[in-house]
Amino acid sequence: MRSEATPQLSGLERFASAGKGRGLRARRRFAVGELLLSCPAYVAVLTVSERGSHCDCCFARKEGLSKCGRCKQAFYCNVECQKEDWPMHRLECASMCTFGQSWQPSETVRLTARILAKQKTHPERTQSEKLLAVKEFESHLDKLDNEKRELIQNDIAALHHFYSKHLDYPDNAALVVLFAQVNCNGFTIEDEELSHLGSAIFPDVALMNHSCCPNVIVTYKGTLAEVRAVREIEPGEEIFSSYIDLLYPTEDRNDRLRDSYFFSCDCRECTTKEKDKEKLEICKLNDPPSAETVKDMIKYARNVIEEFRRAKHYKYILCLTLTPLVELLEICELSLDKMGAVFEDSNVYMLHMMYQAMGICLYVQDWEGALCYGQKIIRPYSKHYPSYSLNVASMWLKLGRLYMALKNRTAGVKALKRAIAIMEVAHGKDHPYISEIKKELEDH
């Protein structure tokens, strides 16, 4: 007999997953594209750069949003959205007025402030916590190194600095645990092109364990997370999502998992490493590069990716001026030239830098340059990523929109239809993004 204490949803149950702790398991069969789970955000914050184009409450993308009359920095669809968001926005509104342009807590700090407020106003279990409560989140506190602990203390200092009027603070030790929980269990909400929209907490979705061979995918409808099957799932099978970008080879993926989530993956993909050779494809030359040369180039590629990430963070995100963008594009081009002497264009490190270069071209509206990079990326993406990958769908979508902008309607229609075919499985056929893309096809 099944224990009544086992939390369940229709067709799903929480269970003890061997070697992984808590997990989510299917109680019935799910077909490809079928919705397993919907979870409203426990709390969510819209990223600052999207203010004015998306509603701060529901994340809807609209023109003519109404701004908060006091701080003039939050925007809403209507009075209903503004009223619904007020218990959370009130945490920030007065502080925004006080600090002005100096008001810049991180999204992690903003999210944590909202959790504290929510726990005070809603101590009971919410609709987002049918299977897993926020207070049950794993913190991995014992695995934090000094650098991570210092970063958390910086976040705690920012929390005290920017939030005071409407928050009751627990002691420092409790805040350390909460920030560690948010770091391990927070979600990034992205749009149809995988542009960052904000951060959120989805407790029931956080119950799923990771696999590099996931059987579900998580997408977002505003601040609602939806989980759909990307392959057939049988009764008794564990539900796995992916916590990370699956483009990279086994060693890179597990480095990321250990750094962010404190475990290594033992899925079939990581055990067999069967895709690593294709992902690290070497140039076919009469005089092939030595193993040492290849090893050195992989090390170079990893270093330049990290350097670029830091440069992008400090120069590109915080200071959007033309000169840093030109510098970043030069980094991409120089690294592509150097790596291209050893790696094929389909090598994932080449693809990474091409993707960054494409993003810069899109930002400066160099449509031809962006298209050139996108055309080189799409086929290897389709090979390296799993079926129904959002990364592949977003690349087809970007290519389709670029073709349309450059008056190549035939290629544009073909690319957009490829994006739709993936998104109808990943997002569901009734998703607003799909309706928008279909309207783009009609308008052209």
Would you say residue 361 lies in a domain?
yes
pLDDT at 421 over 50: yes
pLDDT at 185 over 80: yes
pLDDT for the residue 357: 95
Name 75's bridge partners: 67
Shared domain for 172 and 213, answered yes or no, is yes
pLDDT at 165 over 90: no
List pLDDT tens digits, range 336-375: 999 999 999 999 999 999 999 999 999 999 999 999 999 9
Q: Using DSSP bridges, classify how beta strands 196-201 and 186-190 pair: parallel, antiparallel or unpaired.
A: antiparallel
Of 203, 167, 180, residue with least CA distance to 39: 203
**φ/ψ of residue 39, rounded to 5:** -140, 115
Contacts of 25 (CB under 8 A, 6+ apart): 12, 13, 14, 15, 17, 236, 237, 238, 239
pLDDT, average across residues 52-60: 97
Would you say residue 93 lies in a domain?
no
- pLDDT mean across residues, the chain: 93
Shared domain for 268 and 414, answered yes or no, is no
Higher pLDDT, 105 or 312: 105
Shared domain for 302 and 421, answered yes or no, is no
Shared domain for 289 and 332, answered yes or no, is yes
pLDDT for the residue 321: 53
pLDDT, average across residues 141-149: 96
Contacts of 413 (CB under 8 A, 6+ apart): 400, 441, 444
CA distance 88 to 90: 5
pLDDT, average across residues 175-202: 97
Would you say residue 51 lies in a domain?
no
Residue labelled with tokens 């998580």: 218
pLDDT for the residue 86: 96
Shared domain for 143 and 18, answered yes or no, is yes
Would you say residue 84 lies in a domain?
no
Contacts of 147 (CB under 8 A, 6+ apart): none
List pLDDT tens digits, range 257-314: 999 999 999 999 999 999 999 999 999 888 889 999 999 999 999 999 888 777 655 5
pLDDT at 325 over 90: no
Cα within 13 Å of Cα(275), Cβ side: 25
Residue labelled with tokens 């929480």: 14
Q: Assign residue 332 the CATH number of its domain.
A: 1.25.40.10
pLDDT at 33 over 90: yes
Look at the chain and report how many structural domains it folds into: 4
Shared domain for 344 and 432, answered yes or no, is no
Q: Assign residue 435 the CATH number of its domain.
A: 1.25.40
pLDDT for the residue 319: 47
pLDDT for the residue 217: 98
Residue 45 binned pLDDT confidence (cut-offs 50, 70, 90): very high
Using the 3D structure, point to which of 274, 294, 329 is the last residue of a domain.
274
- Domain assignment of residue 390, given as a range: 385-443
Would you say residue 370 lies in a domain?
yes
Shared domain for 130 and 231, answered yes or no, is yes
CA distance 62 to 82: 15
Provide the angle, in degrees to the nearest 10, between the axes of the packed helices 79-99 and 146-162.
100
List pLDDT tens digits, range 223-242: 999 999 999 999 999 999 99
pLDDT at 435 over 80: yes
pLDDT at 154 over 80: yes
List pLDDT tens digits, range 396-414: 999 999 999 999 999 999 9
pLDDT for the residue 427: 98
Q: For residue 110, give both structure tokens.
A: 């903003």
Using the 3D structure, point to which of 219, 241, 263 is the last residue of a domain.
241
Residue 6 binned pLDDT confidence (cut-offs 50, 70, 90): low
Question: Quick one: what percent of the chain has pLDDT higher than 70?
Answer: 96
Name 198's bridge partners: 46, 189
Shared domain for 255 and 350, answered yes or no, is no
pLDDT, average across residues 102-110: 95
pLDDT, average across residues 33-54: 96
Shared domain for 367 and 434, answered yes or no, is no
Shared domain for 417 and 372, answered yes or no, is no
**φ/ψ of residue 34, rounded to 5:** -75, 140
Q: What is the pTM of this model?
A: 0.93
pLDDT at 2 over 70: no
Using the 3D structure, point to which of 379, 405, 424 is the last residue of a domain.
379
Residue 9 binned pLDDT confidence (cut-offs 50, 70, 90): confident
pLDDT for the residue 8: 75
User: What is the length of the chain?
Assistant: 444
Shared domain for 301 and 426, answered yes or no, is no
Would you say residue 62 lies in a domain?
no
Residue 443 binned pLDDT confidence (cut-offs 50, 70, 90): confident
Question: Quick one: what percent of the chain has pLDDT higher than 90?
Answer: 87
Shared domain for 191 and 262, answered yes or no, is no
pLDDT at 1 over 70: no
pLDDT, average across residues 162-190: 94
